[in-house]
Every structure is written in structure tokens, then in C-alpha cells.
Chains A and B, each alone.
Chain A
Amino acid sequence: IAGITQAPTSQILAAGRRMTLRCTQDMRHNAMYWYRQDLGLGLRLIHYSNTAGTTGKGEVPDGYSVSRANTDDFPLTLASAVPSQTSVYFCASSPTSGGVNEQFFGPGTRLTVL
């Protein structure tokens, strides 16, 4: 593979269920990010990781958790899904968090919570 992959592509989930969205990159990027994108709103940062072993909270972290056990993987977990978490979720990565480095995005996961 080359770039960032996300799984699943889409999911319909019952409220209250636990769900993990997977994200893997093979570019050896240090920084990784999770965003949600809702109609009429900009991308909003949920959690980020500047390097393996560290994570940080973004703008909208409540109801979500992440881990960064290694460089390549950055899973996002919804402990108990609620309908307001219906959204398109994008994972992104960049070589570092600063400099000219742009963020590269995965194809997204479309999540519907009923």
C-alpha cells in the first residue's frame, strides 16, 4: 500500500455500541490526526499524535479516544456511540506537525449512528 488507508469505508451503528475506526499509513510520518467533517462546518480536529507513544486532544475530543502504539497505526474509538457522532471521519498524517509539511488524508469513513 502507499499512503493512508482507513477501515471501514462506511458503517451503520446502533447508539450505545462501541466502534473502532482504523487508520494505517506507510509513509513513516510522525504526526497523525483524526478529523470529523459535517455539512456546513469545517474539518474539526478530534485527536492528534505528534509522534508514536503520544496523543493530544483536539477541538472536539469528547466521546472519542485514540492510541498510538506504533508509527503506522492510529485507531479512533467511540466508546458508546451517539447520533451526534454521525459524520465523515478522516484520518491524516504529516512528516511532522510544523514546517511546510502538508497533511495527507485517508479516504474517509462514513459513520451513521442510529
Chain B
Amino acid sequence: GQNIDQPTEMTATEGAIVQINCTYQTSGFNGLFWYQQHAGEAPTFLSYNVLDGLEEKGRFSSFLSRSKGYSYLLLKELQMKDSASYLCAVRDSNYQLIWGAGTKLIIKP
């Protein structure tokens, strides 16, 4: 079966750095996406990885290791507005996204 695992909840302090991990087992791999979802709102796109390595975009970076079935999202200089759920999704061999349940990130002052 297909499976995406990520921690249910994490807590971090404003101004700090946090890493959210995602491991996956899917039928095929055609890219990995990270989305942000604030409570009561729609998911919004953060990053895309298809090759191994680090993709950096401002305060957010995403890393991929295809051989390990592993990705992480790194958030730097945390702000209160970063309190949200972070969703990991893998595009499988049918070009459909398989989604993890999301990691709720709580930022404390």
C-alpha cells in the first residue's frame, strides 16, 4: 500500500528553527510537495522536490532523499504566523498526489 508518515504535532519557539520530517512509501515517485494549511483554510503550495538535495526558498527549505524515501521541511526564523499544519504529498506513478495527515506546528512566544 501507499503510505506517507509525518509527526502529528510539533512545538517550537518564535525565532527558532524547526524541521518537519516526512517518510513515504508509494507506487512510483514523480515529485514531492509541501503545503501549508492554516486552520479553516485551504492548503497553499510551499515547495516541490523531484531530485535529491535541498531546495531553498526564503525562510523555508525542503530536502529530498529518494533512496531513503525521506524529505524534510526546514523553517527558519519562526514567526507566529507560521503556526499552521504542514502537509507532505507525493505524486505517484499515476500522477496523483498521496497526502500525509499533516503536522500541526505550534509556535510559542
User: Interface on A for B, CB 8 Å cutoff?
Assistant: 35, 40-45, 48, 58, 90, 97-98, 100, 102-108
Contact = CB atoms under 8 A, between A and B. Distances in A.
B42 A42 contact: no
Nearest to B2: A59
Given A42-B4, A42-B87, A42-B101, A100 B43 contact: no
Nearest to B95: A97
Interface of B: 4, 30-31, 33, 41-45, 48, 50, 87, 89, 91, 95-102
Contacts of A45: 96-97
Contacts of B42: 90, 105-108
Nearest to A4: B42
Contact of B45 (A35, A44, A102, A108): A102
Nearest to B44: A105
Most-contacted residue by chain A among B4, B31, B97, B98 (CB, 10 A): B97
Say whether chain A's binding surface is mostly helix, strand, loop, or mixed.
Answer: loop
Nearest to B101: A42
Most-contacted residue by chain A among B33, B42, B43, B89 (CB, 10 A): B42
Contact of B99 (A42, A48, A98, A108): A42
Contacts of A98: 30, 91, 95
Contacts of A105: 42-44
Contacts of B31: 100
Contacts of A35: 99
